[in-house]
Structures are given as C-alpha cells and as structure tokens.
Amino acid sequence: LLAGHPIFAVLTGDASLRRGPHRSLGYRWFADPASRAVYDPRDHAFLSRLFAAGLRELVGRRGPQSHAADLADDLRGRSAEFRDLWDRHEVGLRPVETKRFVHPSVGTIEVHCQTLVDPETAHSLLVYTAAPGTESAEKLRLLAVLGPSVPA
C-alpha cells in the first residue's frame, strides 16, 4: 500500500504503522491470518487465490532475484495454504467488483471496487465506493465521524 484514504485506515488498519513485508496485504493474508478479519468470510477462499496468483504474476514479471520472489519464498516456508496455492501455478485472477469489509463497530460494508493499473510498474489504484443511499454508504459516513478511535 503506497497511500490510502483515512476511512480505509479506520476500516482495515493503518498501513503506515506496518514495516517490511507486513505492509503488503497479500503477505499479511498468509503470514498473519488474523488480518483476514476485516474481510467477509465468504470471500476468503477467493482472496487467498487472488493474492497467491498476483504474487506469482509479479515474480514472473520481475524475476527470481526480485523482492516479489523473496516474499514468495518466505511465504512458502511460512504458510501451507500459500504453498498449496503457489503449486497450482494460477495467474490472471482479477479482483471482483464488489468487496465486502467487516468492521467490529458497524458490521459488513459492501463497496464497488474499480481497479486502475499502470502496466509499466504493475501498480494498481483501487477505488472503493458505496452506492449512494445504501446502508453501506451510511456505515462509511459513520466511520468517517468515528475516525481512528474505533478499533479496526
């Protein structure tokens, strides 16, 4: 994560407080399964596949001496789930348009996710929006008011 909106930090935790590989959501997904709590359990199996496939694509693009390859090596030694998914050689998965986050104070929030990709750097910009007038939009407004004092 290079940058994030303050409401996203309230929802998922402040990434600026993380160091090293733990700044990567995909890394935390396998290295610290507690990080999955902010995502709806119905989405966990797909997200596991997505993060493993995304890292495999990066290793393919950047090579065996890359930082991405180091992360993959670390995760293969750390997570049986990651090893199993890595061994499938799956690539090409893309995020779904609808994402569900779970916050301990407001519950499930459903947002539309638009992914913008820079093909030269493989960086992605994810833009999350809740449909106006929905319960999820109201929950996001509440999180904006409650701010970072609410545990995420």
Q: What is the DSSP string of 17-73?
A: G--GGGG-HHHHHHH-GGGGGGB-GGGHHHHHHHHHHHHHHHHHHH-TTSHHHHHHH
What's the rounded mean pLDDT across residues 138-152? 75
Please, what is the average pLDDT of the chain? Answer: 89
pLDDT for 121 beyond 60: yes
pLDDT tens per residue across span 52-83: 999 999 999 899 999 999 999 999 999 999 99
Expressed in angstroms, the distance from the first to the final Cα of the chain is 17
Confidence (pTM) = 0.86
Asked if 15 and 23 touch (Cβ cutoff 8 Å), the reply is yes
The percentage of the chain sitting over the pLDDT mark of 70, rounded to a whole number, equals 93
Asked if 26 and 55 touch (Cβ cutoff 8 Å), the reply is yes
What's the rounded mean pLDDT across residues 88-92? 94
Question: How many other C-beta atoms lie within 10 A of the C-beta of residue 11?
Answer: 22
pLDDT of res. 149: 54
